[in-house]
Structure 1
Amino acid sequence: MVKLGYKASAEQFGPRQLLEFGVLAEQAGFDSVMVSDHFQPWKHTDGHAPYSFAWLGALGERTSRITIGTSVLTPTFRYHPSVVAQAVATLGVLFPGRVLLGVGTGESLNEVPATAMEWPEYRERLGRFREAVDLIEKLWREDFVTYEGEYYQTSNATIYDKPDAPLPVYLAAGGPRMARYAGRTAQGMICTSGKGEELYRDSLLPALVEGAVKASRDPRDIERMIEVKVSFDTDHERALSDTRNWAALGLPAESKVGVEDPREMERLADSLTTEEAAKRWIVSSDADEHVEMIRRYVDLGFTHLVFHAPGDDQARFMELYAERVLPRLRDLTPGPLPAPASD
């Protein structure tokens, strides 16, 4: 059985309104609520960027069942890894069995404005990321940790309030290198939809399996989470036009590199047509068609689908999804994992 999650769009809604949506998601039958950790949103006009740890604490208190976590947080620049370890450990104590940490290497849009740093090359970002994850997990397992890495150091650091067992860490993977790393070390892998089936089938999932096998792990024990971008409404034109709220996702990757001002990102996104803005989304007004398009990701082997809807009326989306989509998705069984990627 697949898990079905709701993506809380922290860049689109203020923290109070977003909190109500998180509560509604549990009532609608979703299994998880995941939130991004952005310092700045993808657009300036009507943009938002609440602090994820504070918001997750409020959500945990208002709910009782759902898994909550970040999708994703960067533990390397705005935060020292020990602060991330402490914050997530506190959430884990408050809401046992319900918390996960999703992490990635980051976007300059979030890290540069908050720190005035020079955005480093990917090699350094990856090196920092690996050290940060290692240190976070060590702080959850051990006391009085003295860590001497290339980028991070601690001296007899101890987190006094932490769960009895380390919390699950999910790694965001946009390519095979991170997918292999997730297979070797993580409890889950996170990726996003709409990038072409061959990326998942021929690259990410085989690399995940390869990493797990080389680390003598069973890849079936690693949760495969994918954030599925869906715009579903009984009015097809409304479903299509809703995607304009997230038009920045339709920009080519090269046009976003080095853009650290939400006003400039918004200007670039406004130049796209509605059809270009919608290209990363599953846009549909027919439930049968919609479920079949989502089924592709389950057949590929994904086990946890987190749905990101772009419209302003999130309550309407959840009502429609609870009635017409979620019950049918629960009957699906994830497909078998592929063979390991070859060297």
Structure 2
Amino acid sequence: MPDLDQELEFGLFPSPEAARIADLLSLVAQAEVEGLDLVSLQDHPYQERYGDTWTLLSVLGARTSTIKLAPNVASLPLRPPVVLAKAAATLDLITGGRVELGLGAGAFWDAIAAAGGVRRTPGEAVGALAEAVELMKAFWAGGTLHFEGEHYRAVGLHAGPRPAHDIPVWLGSYKPRMLRLTGRLADGWVPSMGYADPPALAELAAVVDEAALAAGRSPQSIKRIYNIFGRFGTGAGFLQGTPDNWAEQLAELTLDVGMSTYILGSDDPDTVRRFAAEVAPRTRELVEVERGRRARGEVPDTPTPAPEAARESVTLVSPTPDDGVRLAAEMPWDESTRPTHDAPAAADDVPLPEHAQHLVDIHNGLRGELAQVRDVLDQVRRGHLPVGAARSVINTMTMRQNNWTLGAYCESYCRAVTGHHTLEDRSIFPHLRHTEPGLAPVLDRLEEEHHVIHDVLEQFDRALVRLVTEDGTGRAGEDVLQGVQDAVDLLTDTLLSHLAYEERELIGPLARHGLN
């Protein structure tokens, strides 16, 4: 079945290695502040190198505030359904409804048996999984259970607690019986690359869809989750190229096969950052555009308009205005001394409007991220106790996580700003100096402001270090928080002023001459 019009989600699938738990906690904090939707952990209780999945998910739930959590997938032969249902419901209550539950019928039977689990035939494993799903959903509904199956019993059990929301159940399945069970009972289907590579997905999904329809269910009600693995580079294979290549390939899977949730297996912070900051938004954009075209009944391959028609259809790019609001006591530069290029900001003949729009798009991303930084800081301040030691505040689980989340986010954000400015200084600005010499005074000023913003970012970083590490009590603790607020206010003033000035002066030249 093609696109099911499901909401796109992007997640992380890190390694639960016991020797690298600190790295795992840091990576998940980064994933949350970068905007990923969920984190999931594999469950292999017999693997000596891995920590316990539910213990780790519980810690992650306490240290995060928005990202969803899921085992991917829980090893049912070693997780009694009633105990697993109670654990999931409890974590769902703790996290305010952020739990989803992936279940597997079992694999690696020698290891399962060595850990005390029941060794099952393929048919028995599927039957036990079907019973477990039914039993767990009955448990979450509450009341007294009277469940007697071939593999599980719960007779006279007073079920509870109820979870904060209806916990979705994913099933990892590849073979016909499991795929049919998924279509009949599950809320999500979760295959993995390596077991089901992209060319195989459509045929497997068709079995799920047919079973759903036979059970009187809509295929759209079953979320399509795909565990993916890849690397950024210049390769031509699936998820081996640039972030744009990744986005195009994932958008194609969504539009042609119906997959909608992509969970990246990676322990590399930079790969996670690029997946969240570049691949996810670009994939969403591609899917949204194509869904819009299909809804309007447009032919996918719309002929390129004639040059004159194309010119008439161009929408000139407008600079983002500076609203003039300033939060800090003073600015590090005099805005009245900024030079202005005497060429028009936008020309009637705009051969390269996409290059000007690219600048605005980058700036809008930076503006949006800055708004998130301010929002996270506001949450930290509103959660701060009015009295008492700063150490007591930081040692409160939510407060400590807010602090570290803010630090992790700003580390990533500052890197993004610096990278953008470095690109401009080394590539775009020299190109514009050569193609439009009269722009030189403006470019000189923009470069000067880049250095100032770099210093402001460093001040912000120092304030964050104090927030997390300094042992202040009472008024001293308030002063530390105020220092961070002052630093982010100055960053807001300088960055928004600079971006508005840059767009005002460069949109015209970029439209005329391109990026390089």
TM-score bracket for the superposition, by shorter chain length: 0.7 to 0.9
Counterpart of 2:26 in 1: which secondary structure?
A: helix
How many angstroms apart in 2 are the aligned matches of 1:94 and 1:315? 27
How many angstroms apart in 2 are the aligned matches of 1:63 and 1:11? 19
Deviation at 1:33, TM superposition (A): 0.6
How many angstroms apart in 2 are the aligned matches of 1:219 and 1:73? 24
Structure 1: gaps (5+ residues): 42-46, 241-280, 337-343
Matches within 5 A, 1:40-119: 40-41=46-47, 48-75=49-76, 77-108=77-108, 110-115=111-116, 119=119
Q: How many residues align?
A: 280
| 1:126 matched residue in structure 2 | 126
Change (3 A) 1:4 1:165: closer
Structure 2: gaps (5+ residues): 1-6, 292-516
Residue range with higher mean Cα deviation, 64-73 or 101-110: 101-110
| 2:458 matched residue in structure 1 | none
Deviation at 1:19, TM superposition (A): 1.9
The one-letter code sitting in structure 2 at the alignment partner of 1:301 is: G
Pick from 282, 285, 298: which aligns with 1:331? 285
How many angstroms apart in 1 are the aligned matches of 2:283 and 2:15? 22
Deviation at 1:164, TM superposition (A): 5.3
Change (3 A) 1:13 1:178: farther
Is this contact kept in 1: 2:244–2:282, CA < 8 A? no
How many angstroms apart in 2 are the aligned matches of 1:164 and 1:315? 31
Is this contact kept in 1: 2:188–2:224, CA < 8 A? yes
Change (3 A) 1:230 1:178: same
1:315 aligns with 2:269: yes
Is this contact kept in 2: 1:177–1:207, CA < 8 A? no
| 2:146 matched residue in structure 1 | 146
Change (3 A) 1:166 1:288: closer
Deviation at 1:90, TM superposition (A): 0.4
Change (3 A) 1:230 1:64: same
Counterpart of 2:179 in 1: which secondary structure?
A: helix
Matches within 5 A, 1:1-343: 1-11=7-17, 14-41=20-47, 48-75=49-76, 77-108=77-108, 110-115=111-116, 119-163=119-163, 165-194=165-194, 195-202=196-203, 204-232=204-232, 282=238, 284-299=240-255, 300-309=257-266, 314-333=268-287
CA distances 1:6-53 after superposition (whole Å, capped 9, x unpaired) = 112225863332122111111111111111111144xxxxx7311111
CA distances 1:247-283 after superposition (whole Å, capped 9, x unpaired) = xxxxxxxxxxxxxxxxxxxxxxxxxxxxxxxxxx945
How many angstroms apart in 2 are the aligned matches of 1:283 and 1:100? 26
Is this contact kept in 2: 1:179–1:208, CA < 8 A? yes
The one-letter code sitting in structure 2 at the alignment partner of 1:29 is: G
Q: Which has the higher contact order (CA 8 A, sep 6+)?
A: 1
How many angstroms apart in 2 are the aligned matches of 1:329 and 1:13? 34
How many angstroms apart in 2 are the aligned matches of 1:165 and 1:328? 30
Structure (1/2) with the larger strand percentage: 1
Change (3 A) 1:61 1:164: closer
TM-score, with length taken from structure 1: 0.74
Residue range with higher mean Cα deviation, 58-67 or 138-147: 138-147
User: What CA RMSD, in Å, does the superposition of the two structures yield over aligned residues?
Assistant: 2.5
| 2:478 matched residue in structure 1 | none
Structure (1/2) with the larger helix percentage: 2
Change (3 A) 1:158 1:19: farther
Higher radius of gyration, 1 or 2: 2
How many angstroms apart in 2 are the aligned matches of 1:161 and 1:64? 21
CA distances 1:76-123 after superposition (whole Å, capped 9, x unpaired) = x22211111111010111112211110011112651221175x32201
Change (3 A) 1:15 1:157: farther
| 2:421 matched residue in structure 1 | none
How many angstroms apart in 2 are the aligned matches of 1:23 and 1:180? 37
Change (3 A) 1:94 1:212: same
Deviation at 1:54, TM superposition (A): 1.3
Change (3 A) 1:121 1:65: same
The one-letter code sitting in structure 2 at the alignment partner of 1:330 is: R
The one-letter code sitting in structure 1 at the alignment partner of 2:21 is: P
